[in-house]
Amino acid sequence: MKSTQKQLVLSVVACVAGLGIAGTSLAKGDKATKEEAVSMVKKGITFIKTNGKDKGYEEITSKQSRFRDRDLYLVVYGLDGVVRAHGQNQKMVNKNLISLRDVDGKEFVKERVELGKSKDSFWQDYKFTNPVTKQIQPKQMYCERLEDTVVCGGVYK
Protein backbone atom coordinates (compact mmCIF):
# COMPACT_ATOMS: atom_id res chain seq x y z
CA MET A 1 0.00 0.00 0.00
CA LYS A 2 1.37 3.40 -0.95
CA SER A 3 1.98 6.10 1.64
CA THR A 4 -0.89 8.27 0.37
CA GLN A 5 -3.27 5.28 0.50
CA LYS A 6 -2.20 4.58 4.09
CA GLN A 7 -2.83 8.22 5.02
CA LEU A 8 -6.26 8.08 3.41
CA VAL A 9 -7.16 4.86 5.26
CA LEU A 10 -5.96 6.33 8.55
CA SER A 11 -7.96 9.51 7.91
CA VAL A 12 -11.12 7.51 7.20
CA VAL A 13 -10.61 5.40 10.35
CA ALA A 14 -10.09 8.55 12.44
CA CYS A 15 -13.23 10.14 10.98
CA VAL A 16 -15.35 7.04 11.60
CA ALA A 17 -14.05 6.80 15.18
CA GLY A 18 -14.75 10.48 15.69
CA LEU A 19 -18.29 10.10 14.36
CA GLY A 20 -18.92 7.29 16.81
CA ILE A 21 -17.80 9.46 19.71
CA ALA A 22 -19.67 12.51 18.44
CA GLY A 23 -22.79 10.45 17.80
CA THR A 24 -22.79 9.27 21.40
CA SER A 25 -22.42 12.81 22.70
CA LEU A 26 -25.05 14.24 20.35
CA ALA A 27 -27.47 11.43 21.19
CA LYS A 28 -27.37 12.60 24.80
CA GLY A 29 -28.08 16.19 23.82
CA ASP A 30 -25.95 19.27 24.16
CA LYS A 31 -26.93 20.05 27.74
CA ALA A 32 -27.12 17.85 30.80
CA THR A 33 -30.53 17.14 32.30
CA LYS A 34 -31.71 17.40 35.88
CA GLU A 35 -31.92 13.59 36.02
CA GLU A 36 -28.28 13.33 34.89
CA ALA A 37 -27.24 15.84 37.56
CA VAL A 38 -28.98 13.88 40.32
CA SER A 39 -27.46 10.64 39.06
CA MET A 40 -23.95 12.09 38.89
CA VAL A 41 -24.17 13.52 42.42
CA LYS A 42 -25.26 10.12 43.74
CA LYS A 43 -22.42 8.38 41.87
CA GLY A 44 -19.95 10.94 43.22
CA ILE A 45 -21.13 10.35 46.79
CA THR A 46 -20.84 6.59 46.34
CA PHE A 47 -17.31 7.02 44.96
CA ILE A 48 -16.28 9.20 47.92
CA LYS A 49 -17.79 6.75 50.44
CA THR A 50 -16.12 3.77 48.74
CA ASN A 51 -12.68 5.28 48.06
CA GLY A 52 -12.32 7.91 50.78
CA LYS A 53 -12.37 11.69 50.67
CA ASP A 54 -8.83 12.20 49.36
CA LYS A 55 -9.24 9.89 46.38
CA GLY A 56 -12.83 11.06 45.79
CA TYR A 57 -11.93 14.74 45.75
CA GLU A 58 -8.92 14.04 43.53
CA GLU A 59 -11.11 12.18 41.02
CA ILE A 60 -13.78 14.90 40.98
CA THR A 61 -11.13 17.60 40.40
CA SER A 62 -9.19 15.64 37.75
CA LYS A 63 -9.31 16.98 34.19
CA GLN A 64 -10.13 13.42 33.07
CA SER A 65 -12.74 12.91 35.78
CA ARG A 66 -15.51 10.38 35.33
CA PHE A 67 -17.66 13.09 36.96
CA ARG A 68 -17.59 15.48 33.98
CA ASP A 69 -19.98 15.35 31.06
CA ARG A 70 -20.57 18.27 28.68
CA ASP A 71 -21.70 21.17 30.91
CA LEU A 72 -22.18 18.92 33.97
CA TYR A 73 -19.49 18.50 36.62
CA LEU A 74 -19.35 18.00 40.37
CA VAL A 75 -18.23 20.37 43.12
CA VAL A 76 -17.83 19.63 46.81
CA TYR A 77 -18.13 22.41 49.39
CA GLY A 78 -17.43 22.08 53.08
CA LEU A 79 -20.17 23.47 55.29
CA ASP A 80 -17.62 26.18 56.10
CA GLY A 81 -17.67 27.43 52.48
CA VAL A 82 -14.28 25.93 51.54
CA VAL A 83 -14.11 24.12 48.18
CA ARG A 84 -12.97 20.52 48.69
CA ALA A 85 -13.21 19.47 45.02
CA HIS A 86 -14.13 21.26 41.80
CA GLY A 87 -14.71 19.47 38.51
CA GLN A 88 -14.32 22.56 36.37
CA ASN A 89 -11.69 24.72 38.07
CA GLN A 90 -9.01 23.11 40.21
CA LYS A 91 -7.73 26.57 41.23
CA MET A 92 -10.82 26.91 43.45
CA VAL A 93 -9.88 23.91 45.63
CA ASN A 94 -9.09 24.85 49.25
CA LYS A 95 -10.48 28.38 48.80
CA ASN A 96 -13.19 29.75 51.04
CA LEU A 97 -15.83 31.11 48.68
CA ILE A 98 -18.54 31.75 51.27
CA SER A 99 -18.95 35.38 50.15
CA LEU A 100 -18.90 34.67 46.38
CA ARG A 101 -21.78 36.35 44.55
CA ASP A 102 -23.35 35.72 41.18
CA VAL A 103 -23.97 38.53 38.67
CA ASP A 104 -27.19 39.47 40.47
CA GLY A 105 -25.41 39.78 43.81
CA LYS A 106 -26.74 36.51 45.22
CA GLU A 107 -24.38 34.91 47.75
CA PHE A 108 -24.94 31.46 46.32
CA VAL A 109 -22.19 29.66 48.23
CA LYS A 110 -23.45 31.02 51.54
CA GLU A 111 -26.97 29.97 50.59
CA ARG A 112 -25.73 26.51 49.51
CA VAL A 113 -23.92 26.00 52.81
CA GLU A 114 -26.98 27.11 54.82
CA LEU A 115 -29.25 24.80 52.82
CA GLY A 116 -26.72 21.98 53.30
CA LYS A 117 -26.84 22.44 57.07
CA SER A 118 -30.63 22.15 57.17
CA LYS A 119 -31.49 19.72 54.34
CA ASP A 120 -30.24 16.34 53.16
CA SER A 121 -30.77 17.32 49.51
CA PHE A 122 -31.95 20.39 47.64
CA TRP A 123 -32.03 22.33 44.38
CA GLN A 124 -30.57 25.82 44.22
CA ASP A 125 -30.98 28.53 41.54
CA TYR A 126 -28.34 31.12 40.65
CA LYS A 127 -26.36 32.36 37.65
CA PHE A 128 -22.97 31.03 36.63
CA THR A 129 -20.66 30.74 33.62
CA ASN A 130 -21.45 27.74 31.45
CA PRO A 131 -18.13 25.95 30.70
CA VAL A 132 -19.32 24.99 27.21
CA THR A 133 -20.82 28.28 25.98
CA LYS A 134 -18.68 30.58 28.20
CA GLN A 135 -21.86 32.60 28.78
CA ILE A 136 -23.35 33.50 32.17
CA GLN A 137 -26.60 31.56 32.37
CA PRO A 138 -29.24 30.61 34.92
CA LYS A 139 -28.15 27.41 36.64
CA GLN A 140 -29.89 24.90 38.86
CA MET A 141 -27.63 23.02 41.23
CA TYR A 142 -28.62 19.74 42.85
CA CYS A 143 -26.83 19.09 46.15
CA GLU A 144 -26.75 16.32 48.74
CA ARG A 145 -25.15 16.57 52.15
CA LEU A 146 -22.37 14.10 52.87
CA GLU A 147 -21.16 14.45 56.45
CA ASP A 148 -19.70 17.99 56.71
CA THR A 149 -19.90 18.70 52.97
CA VAL A 150 -22.39 19.17 50.14
CA VAL A 151 -21.77 17.37 46.85
CA CYS A 152 -23.35 19.23 43.94
CA GLY A 153 -23.89 19.00 40.19
CA GLY A 154 -25.83 21.48 38.12
CA VAL A 155 -27.62 22.08 34.87
CA TYR A 156 -27.89 25.24 32.81
CA LYS A 157 -31.32 26.47 31.70
Q: What span, in angstroms and rounded, lies between the C-alpha atoms of 65 and 56?
A: 10
Give the alpha-carbon dihedral of 56, 31, 39, 114, to 10 degrees: 70
User: What share of the chain has pLDDT > 70, as a percent?
Assistant: 82
Per-residue pLDDT of 80-96, as tens digits, reads 999 999 999 999 999 99
pTM recorded for the entire structure = 0.81
Residue 155: in which H helix or E strand, if any? strand 149-156
Give 143 or 157, the one with higher predicted confidence: 143
Per-residue pLDDT of 25-35, as tens digits, reads 334 578 999 99
Q: What span, in angstroms and rounded, lies between the C-alpha atoms of 151 and 157?
A: 20
